[in-house]
Chain A
Amino acid sequence: MPRKTHSYLLLLAPIVVLLVILPVLPHFYVFLFCTAYIFGMFALSLDFLMGYGGMPNFGQAVFFGLGAYVVTMAQIWWHVPPILSVIFPYAFVIPLSFALARVSVRGGGIYFALITIIWGDITYRTFFYEWTLGGSDGLRGATTFPLREYYIIILIATVVCYVLIRKIADSQFGMVLRAIRENETRMRFVGCKVENYRMSAFVISSCFATFAGSLYPGLYGGARPELLHWALSTLAVTMVIVGGLGSLVGALIGGFIITFLIEWSTSYLPMGGGYTIAGLILVATLLFMPKGIYPTIKRIWRS
């Protein structure tokens, strides 16, 4: 498989570049890059669900936020060492995502989008108003790592995430998933259990979102209820669409663009306005470049 090795070599080039620039990056930018990696991973998990499974999840931030929350809880309430605490979220997320997948997948189509918005908002409200869970302040006090070492850890985690999702998407499972997205009725006739495949894809994607979220406290030292908010889920949808729906590199690129935009606007624009620009970019992408940035660039490069 010569083409495969070729694509992995292409993957190596940006990693080398990102490692080489590390010593010369100013502190602020290292932080920004770390955030961008985390949100890039988050966008990857959603791209797997949306691009391959055809399920637009508008509540993906719930799993991201739960990852961050449970890691923080494990560290400050149960006194788990920081490295081990990364394992804990899955004990909560996997049963929850099974239950939510069961409800949401039954709806199908536009009802899937609606019901994900609703349970996303329910979870956010619970964390925002329940003071035992930290309330509107969130939880603080998780161990933060030295920034430049953490940069390397997150970079490796991103690459591992990418390779794993790529493997799953290219496997037989991923092909069945794509077939279901293209023609659900036909797959039902063939005898494929569509609901089971969709639910598995949902749970896998939520696990990756949790993984991205569980790296968040190591950078910011805690979790905020905003991490569960609908705005973050929809921001992830924006990243996926801007980068390119169904192309994993595109999701990473979209994650980078949108994260940089939001951080830049909160630092330099007087009244925020990051979401205004994000909305404009989303609308412009859909109208003029509906395939997304990365597939469009690739097509121009090829021709």
Chain B
Amino acid sequence: MLDIVLVGIMYGLTLSSIALGLSLIFGVMKILNIAHGEFYMMGAFALLITMELTGLNFWLALIPAAIIVGLLAIIFEAGLHPFYGKEPLYGLILTLGYSFFLRDAAYSFSRTTMLLPVGAGFYSIPTPLPGGFNFYGMVLPYYRFAILAIICMLYAGLWFLVKKTKYGMHIRAATQNAELLSSDGVNVKQVNRLTFCIGAALAAVAGALMGPVTTVYSDMGHEMILLAFIAVIVGGLGNIRGCLIASVVLSEIYVFLSLYLEPYWSETILGLISMVVLLITARRR
């Protein structure tokens, strides 16, 4: 039982780092980034390519993977400039275009590339930390604890950035009132860029960390983003603590349901939960 709880927490934290990025970006820029799952997928691919090209080990390759995706995100953020302060629908549809482009390009790339060993689009990363604790007959893999530790460290860093630095103050101010912030002489565009970059890098690290647990393929982000949307609905867009709690709780539900039901039912039930939550809380939003 304990190992399943642990799997649930592990999935929950990786899910939360996507949901948190979505929520952060929505809070600051008022744009729902549909292409966020693609950043998750690109993180895993960036990690694979870095490992293959430079021969770095897994842990060191996480850093360039996050940086590559963060820098790419800055390019994509440039396209969003005309849509700040407009109706959120247009920004959403623009990121939808990004999502189409990135997912299909990754599909073609992963099937034809010469950079990676032959995998026909599906790649697996060997676990960087084999073995596990023996806990009363259950084996708890070390790697899961490593994922927990890294994501907790990331969150500590994010907390420090948002709560203790000047940039963090700007980010918090932008969620309240971006116009007022810009009239105070702060470059809001730069704040937006930074937020988008941080959100994408978070998703990329989550994708890279999940690489050894799941398969790396072009649709992996799409599978994850739907769960992230559910988490975001339950937790509330722009509400960071809510997203974190909702992701972990929903993942526990997901993992335990998968034990007893056919796997696709667990996602259906999560979706139904989110619909019920939306119906109950709709008036208060």
Contacts and interface: CB of A to CB of B under 8 A. Distances in A.
B226 A279 contact: no
Interface in B70-119: 79, 82-83, 88-90, 92-94, 96-105, 107-108, 111-112
A113 B32 contact: yes
A72 interface: no
> What is the predominant secondary structure among interface residues of chain A facing chain B?
helix
Contacts of B120: none
B161 interface: no
A295 B97 CA distance: 21
Interface stretch (B144-152, B243-251, B268-276): B268-276
Nearest to B106: A276
Contact of A118 (B102, B233, B237): B233
A115 B278 contact: yes
Q: Determine the main DSSP class of B at the interface with A.
A: helix
A272 B83 CA distance: 30
For B98, B100, B229, B282, which residue has the most chain A Cβ atoms within 10 angstroms?
A: B100
Interface in B242-285: 262, 264, 267-268, 271-272, 274-275, 278-279, 282, 285
B20 interface: no
A276 B105 CA distance: 6
Interface residues of A, number: 41
Given A103-B278, A107-B282, A108-B282, A113 B92 contact: yes
Interface residues of B, number: 44
Given A106-B278, A119-B275, A271-B108, A286 B103 contact: no
Interface in A264-280: 270-276, 278-280
A286 B97 contact: yes
A26 to B, nearest CB: 28
29 contacts: A56-B89, A103-B278, A108-B285, A110-B92, A111-B285, A114-B32, A115-B274, A118-B230, A118-B275, A122-B267, A122-B268, A122-B272, A128-B264, A238-B97, A238-B100, A241-B93, A270-B112, A271-B112, A272-B104, A275-B104, A276-B104, A276-B108, A278-B100, A279-B99, A282-B96, A283-B98, A286-B90, A290-B82, A290-B90
A-B interface, 7 closest residue pairs, ranked by CB to CB distance from nearest: A279-B100, A279-B101, A282-B97, A275-B104, A283-B97, A271-B108, A106-B282
Interface of B: 26, 32, 79, 82-83, 88-90, 92-94, 96-105, 107-108, 111-112, 222, 226, 229-230, 232-233, 237, 262, 264, 267-268, 271-272, 274-275, 278-279, 282, 285
